[in-house]
Structure 1
Amino acid sequence: MRRRSLLLAAVPAGLVTLAACGDDKSASSKASPSPSGSASSVPPPKIVEGPLPAITAGKKFGEKPTVAKGDGEPSKDLAVKTVIAGGGRTVAENDFVQANYLGQVWATAKVFDNSYDRKTPLVLQLAKGSVIDGWRYALQGKKVGSRVEMAVPPTWGYGSSGNAQAGIKGTDTLVFVVDLLDSFNSKSSAKGKEVPQNDAALPKVGTNTNGSAPSIDVPKSDPPTKLVSEYVLEGDGPAVKADQSILCQFKGIVWDGGKTFEQTYGSGRLSQFSVQQMQQVLKGLAQGVTGKKVGSRILVVVPPSLGYGDTPPPGGVIKKGSTLVFSLDILAAM
């Protein structure tokens, strides 16, 4: 039996859900491209170019779009169009995407959700069971920086049950406009500016950005008794807030002996966790990521008082009184 991740939400491909990504405000009363049970066993759709309703305002990438009502009957297939072609990384299945989007009903043009007004892009994984199949198939092969419009029939949306909370019927075709802001996979790394590591009393962390695990060299001295959180690579994104969740790569070792107790590098997965929930598990790590910029690699040294103390996880290299050392790449915050 696979041991539960020490970071609660290390997510293999296909297991992350929208509920784990967003805050309560963004998910409580709106429909989003989150999993639909009815879409889990259907065959792949045929992808066609239209019909698709016109975008009548907000036509630039990143602007909140206004979309006309669908004209006539929508296609029974998945209609997809690249409205604006980006030049970034090509998105593949099981990647995480960061996107702004607007969703409305074909027949009525009723907007049931959009991320533009919240000013908080959505982060989710294009994996079976993690997002409606319409998104999963429509966004594969698209490039970061693209605006994509799609019309999703119920079969690849919320199924015959619809989404009553959002006013979506089981017969509704849904129209989405999606601005692809970024994408991440298990080989992603922070890309920030290198910060000098001059304190000989602290571990030195590698600065490679090729998706491989960075080295962590622990000095032959006693560990600090207070929390340490320092930039190794400083990104230029917004600072992580205490009420957000983050998507990250990480490596965790114990100070004494330098043994790795867990890492995402080389595992085919990323880690995603709520900072608030992490407060209940590893208070020092939650405090260490708070206030740090997205796109950064940080060194976090967690003393026992802010870690597991005298109650370490059973069966591992973490012992009573262990000081923990993390190298953590903050890929996205949501």
Structure 2
Amino acid sequence: MKKHLPIAAVAAATLVLAGCASGTDDEASASPSPTDGAGGTETTEFGNAQDVAMLDEITWEEDGDGIPTLTVETPSTISGTATRIVEDGDGAAVESGQVVTVDYTITSGTDGSQLFSTYESDAPESLLVSETSLEPALYNALAGSSVGSDVIFATIDQTATDTPNAAIYMAMTITDVIDPLDRAEGEAVDPAEGLPTVTLDEAGVPSVEVGDAEMPTELEVQQLIEGPADGEVVELGDTVIAHYTGWIWDGEQFDSSWDRGEPTLFAFQEGQLIEGWTQGLAGQTVGSQVLLVIPPELGYGEQESEAIPADSTLVFVVDILAVA
């Protein structure tokens, strides 16, 4: 359960999340565009023709440490979004549903300045390669690339209020790819008495029955499925890929990644999650399913949060699918 996104993730989300750019008819109808018009040529550019042509004018240069710099025409504008694979990597192929780790820089199309770099912060980020969570031009590029690929993604800079449709650019290198689990896998654990009862359907989607359970005053952490002993362990600084569902203690569901049809990614860092998640998931292994019962002081306390009333005790079932 996210408390808020880190600054770096906000910068990335500005670029990659579906619907992030102000919609235009050109953007809505954007489609893959081959590098040249020859039949059978591998597609390396995605977006409408005008935006793709602009990407062809951008120069990608690297310093001795392999950190890219983009040289762009300024000021530059864009009608929607566009992506260009500058160079395909020679690593593992990237497929839909996988999670890629990327290093990237963000460059302003208004003045050409570099706005952000994961290289400087030594904090690469991970993205779920998904049609629903990524802008189409970026999804199409990533799903057809390989580890080691260099990619330029361009979209409208929502912060450049003085220049309508000002462009902003992300220069990214795919450094890794992983296959998250579909659901928790491991040994079933008999839960302690007095906790809510969890039932799974055939797909692994959980439901909860509080019944006569007494509402706890302290954090309750109960493994329902114990992941393999040699599995990766959730640690601070990781990106965690998980499926989860959350309920208020009275049994009312308020959120579920299962309902959205894909897992969620979150930075496992102090201050970025409610404290009940940070305490309850630290040290858990990939493949585990964990029941968390979180008292208000480790959740949202006296503050309302969307569908969660103030002073709510929360119940979560979390499937840990991967860490990056």
- Taking structure 1 as the reference length, what is the TM-score of the superposition? 0.55
% identical equivalent positions: 18
**Secondary structure of 1:139's aligned partner:** helix
Distance 1:180 1:164, change over 3 A: farther
Alignment of 1:182-193 (within 5 A): 182=178, 188-191=182-185, 193=186
In structure 2, stretches of 5+ residues that fail to align are: 36-43, 46-55, 72-81
Alignment of 1:214-233 (within 5 A): 214=206, 216=208, 222-231=214-223, 232-233=225-226
Q: Tell me the CA shift for residue 229 of structure 1.
A: 1.7
> Is 1:37 aligned to 2:26, yes or no?
no
Q: Tell me the CA shift for residue 239 of structure 1.
A: 1.6
CA contact (8 A) 2:105 2:114 kept: yes
Question: Counterpart of 1:250?
Answer: 244
What is the rounded CA distance, in whole Å, between the counterparts of 1:54 and 1:194 in structure 2?
Answer: 49
CA contact (8 A) 1:239 1:292 kept: yes
Alignment of 1:1-334 (within 5 A): 22-24=5-7, 33=16, 35-37=20-22, 40-41=27-28, 43-48=30-35, 49=44, 65-66=66-67, 79-80=84-85, 81-86=87-92, 90-91=95-96, 97-103=99-105, 113-124=116-127, 134-142=137-145, 146-152=147-153, 157-159=154-156, 175-182=171-178, 188-191=182-185, 193-194=186-187, 196-197=189-190, 199-203=192-196, 205=198, 212-214=204-206, 216=208, 222-231=214-223, 232-234=225-227, 236-240=232-236, 248-253=242-247, 262-270=255-263, 276=271, 279=274, 285-286=276-277, 288-289=279-280, 291-293=282-284, 295=286, 296-303=288-295, 324-331=314-321
Distance 1:32 1:227, change over 3 A: same
Equivalent AA in structure 1 for residue 90 of structure 2: I
Q: Tell me the CA shift for residue 83 of structure 1.
A: 1.0
Equivalent AA in structure 2 for residue 139 of structure 1: L
Q: Deviations over 1:159-184 (max 9, x none)?
A: 5x69879xxx9689865322343366
Quick one: higher RCO (CA 8 Å, sep 6+), 1 or 2? 1
The two structures, once aligned, show a CA RMSD in angstroms of 5.8
Distance 1:118 1:46, change over 3 A: same
Q: Tell me the CA shift for residue 260 of structure 1.
A: 5.0
Distance 1:217 1:103, change over 3 A: same
In the comparison of the two structures, how many residue pairs are matched? Answer: 282
CA contact (8 A) 1:240 1:290 kept: no
- Taking structure 2 as the reference length, what is the TM-score of the superposition? 0.56
**Secondary structure of 2:175's aligned partner:** strand
